[in-house]
Structure 1
């Protein structure tokens, strides 16, 4: 939510992320100083020079009027204050490796996931929510009765209805998938948050009947659209694998491994790249607001946005990305033909946007 600047429906603001050092992360994964950063530097003549960093000139002015005297041990002249304000620079950095700690309350996470799954069932198949088969999991969701490990599983989804919405919506996407699996004789629900975090829960056991999937998904980012749902019955005889397979969290070692890997993947891979991708999308949306029809100017602005993305991605990965090679690959994927193929069409045209997204995905795949 922080990286993509998503505001939850029940949240008053986009969440910030506290770090162990002098920074915190605000919306868009922007590093911000928790307080003015004062660094001392001793000159060759013995004098001490202060280098002071602020988030903004306004913050600099407030600090000079409030804490500066007590920190520096003397009052600053008006000339000195003016000089500090004049030299102050807006300090804004993209997400990069920082020390941080995280505590996962898995009991609460899986209760929340279970509640979401049951809510979807109540909307679309209410009979199951009232059935004796779901009594135990309902009491877990409502009254916190039982340990999360009694219900939580790792799920491998061999057949999913989510492929098309995910390709269109990407991270702008929350979903619940509920599987009636004859092979396992179980009903299993999988919650996916922002297409990044999955939580799978056993909803009922001793199931007998056909293989089915209920897929419920919603747009995020304030779209205001109601959730949409698809219910499909699967002919299991046509597939060599069951529609879903599960694995219990059998040991503490396995728990540490699974959720440690998840956190590492989110923070080291997804989080920085998501922040840059969100910035890229925002920049393209700003371009689209200035001009409506596709022309050479718009396509050139898109090119600049792409190159800016890969430049910043190289900084985050600690690798030098050859922009000439990026341009060459863009040409291979027919970026230059966008102007001719879509000349005069609306820049929000679905086919045009799909072509741009496809080129972007191909470039990322080339980098990986």
Structure 2
């Protein structure tokens, strides 16, 4: 595949001037490589000056929040600058979504029913008994228009119970600021480039895209492309079982005579940008990635030089967004897919992973009891998935597929080994991923 494959050293300290405006470095304020709202955690003063940093901090840095809020909510984790896990409150209807994709009533829910005798009864729902007590002491009389007897109040409190429910697909339609999304993506690509190959961040070939990122000069459609990655180094560590990485891949492609950057946010959202044109030289790929769990460690980068003769197709294919209809279809479909498919799957998968972690704390060695607990957790996952997606999932078929994918051999293969053994965890992850692919592949 490649003539060379190497890990690159961090070279950001070589930058003496901001690659946008040429102000002196280092800056007094730190800048995230991958945005804090994407759960990026590493910061540096070596890339851009305070003024340029501040210019991105409002609109541009918030361009992907509608996506990242759903992802981080489902997996119950927060970014470095977040006070808490994002809550999804801008929804139509009676609910907001708390951490872990739990639906919670925004206010008491009154549902009226007409009985066979014509009498109208009201059922009042709360998130908890404590909430019911507070409501009865405060807004109940003005809300209902009548005073309740003590007996009626006691009955409401008695019936009050948590209405927290598992993840549900969410309808999502938004006025997406694509100009700012692509500025944010471009800014991240340039920072990764400057962090590991600083001379290219200053290169005349990147001047136009730098001015787009920093000063919004030029239409976003001049830089934005749809990318088909025939060779993606990011596919190696990424699975459906987590949102553990943000990454950037930069392709030097002789076939296109372009340099293309692809940003992947939380393993879920991709944006591809033309970084430079009129490229001539060898085909190569730079892969930069950072974990999303607050380690603070700097991104790592690997570079591969590609022998294009070994491939029947180019390493990456692109197309520009040709029409408003195409643009609307691509980006609204992406958002809809995230909130109606990935979001509930992510939330239930995170719950499954937490169950497995709890099982592993009870007994650390692989045995029949542990594997049986895993089986129960997987079946519970598919039971709940059927509920939230409104479709029947045949659990016998799930069990049969689990067997086909090697679940029944886990005890024999790994008996006595630690549940955190990398090979064992990888085998379990692969079985579960195969099951998801069976239903959503």
TM-score range, shorter chain: over 0.9
Structure 2's unaligned 5+ residue stretches are 1-71
Which residue does the alignment assign to 2:355?
A: 283
- Give the Å deviation of 1:184: 1.3
Alignment of 1:91 onto 2:163: yes
Matches within 5 A, 1:141-180: 141-167=213-239, 170-180=242-252
Show the counterpart of 2:431.
359
1:151-190 deviations in whole A, cap 9, x for unaligned? Answer: 1111111111122211497532211001111111111110
Query: Partner residue of 1:120?
Result: 192
CA 1:365/1:48 → structure 2, altered by over 3 Å: closer, same or farther?
Answer: same
- The answer to whether residue 89 in structure 2 is matched with residue 5 in structure 1 is no
User: Which residue is 1:14 aligned to?
Assistant: 85
1:307 is aligned, of 379, 389, 394, to 379
Q: Cα distance, 1:42 vs. partner?
A: 4.0
Deviation for aligned residue 1:48? 4.0
| Counterpart pick for 1:104 among 164, 173, 176 | 176
Distance apart, 1:78 and its partner CA: 3.3
The separation in 2 between residues aligned to 1:186 and 1:315, in whole angstroms, is 47
Distance 1:99 1:182 in 2: 42
TM-score (norm: length of structure 1): 0.93
One of 252, 260, 266 as aligned partner of 2:324:
252
CA contact under 8 A between 2:169 and 2:343: conserved in structure 1? no
Question: SS of the residue aligned with 1:177?
Answer: strand
Q: What per-residue deviation string (whole Å, max 9, x for no partner) do you get for residues 309-367 of structure 1? A: 11111123322222122223223333233223222221111111111112212222333
Any idea what the Cα deviations from partners look like across 1:250-277, whole Å, max 9, x if unmatched?
A: 2112211211221232223222212211
The Cα of 1:82 is off from its aligned counterpart by 2.4
Deviation at 1:302, TM superposition (A): 0.9
Q: Which moved more, 1:28-37 or 1:259-268?
A: 259-268
Partner residue, 1:238: 310
Residue 139 of structure 1, aligned match among 199, 211, 233: 211
Where does residue 339 of structure 1 map in the other structure?
411
Distance 1:234 1:299, change over 3 A: same
Deviation at 1:139, TM superposition (A): 1.5
Q: Match of 1:316?
A: 388
User: Deviations for 1:187-229, whole angstroms, at most 9, x for unmatched residues?
Assistant: 1110001211110111111112111111011222335443221
Q: What SS does the corresponding residue of 2:121 show, helix, strand or coil?
A: strand
Measured after TM superposition, the shift of residue 142 of structure 1 is 1.4
Q: Conserved in 2, the CA contact under 8 Å of 1:7 and 1:13? A: yes
| Matched-pair contact (CA < 8 Å) for 2:173–2:332 | no
- CA RMSD, aligned part only? 2.0
Unaligned runs of 5+ in 1: none
Higher alpha-carbon deviation: 191-200 or 65-74: 65-74
CA shift in 2, pair 1:112/1:183, >3 Å: same
Tell which deviates more after alignment, 343-352 or 67-76. Answer: 67-76
The alignment's TM-score, normalised by the length of structure 2, stands at: 0.79
Shift of 1:83: 2.0
Provide the rounded CA distance (Å) in 2 between the counterparts of 1:293 and 1:167: 25
The 1-side partners of 2:437 and 2:259 are apart by: 36
> Equivalents in 2 of 1:314, 1:217: separation in Å?
34
The answer on whether the counterparts of 1:182 and 1:211 sit within 8 Å (CA) in structure 2 is yes
Secondary structure, aligned partner of 2:195: helix
SS of the residue 1:294 aligns to: coil
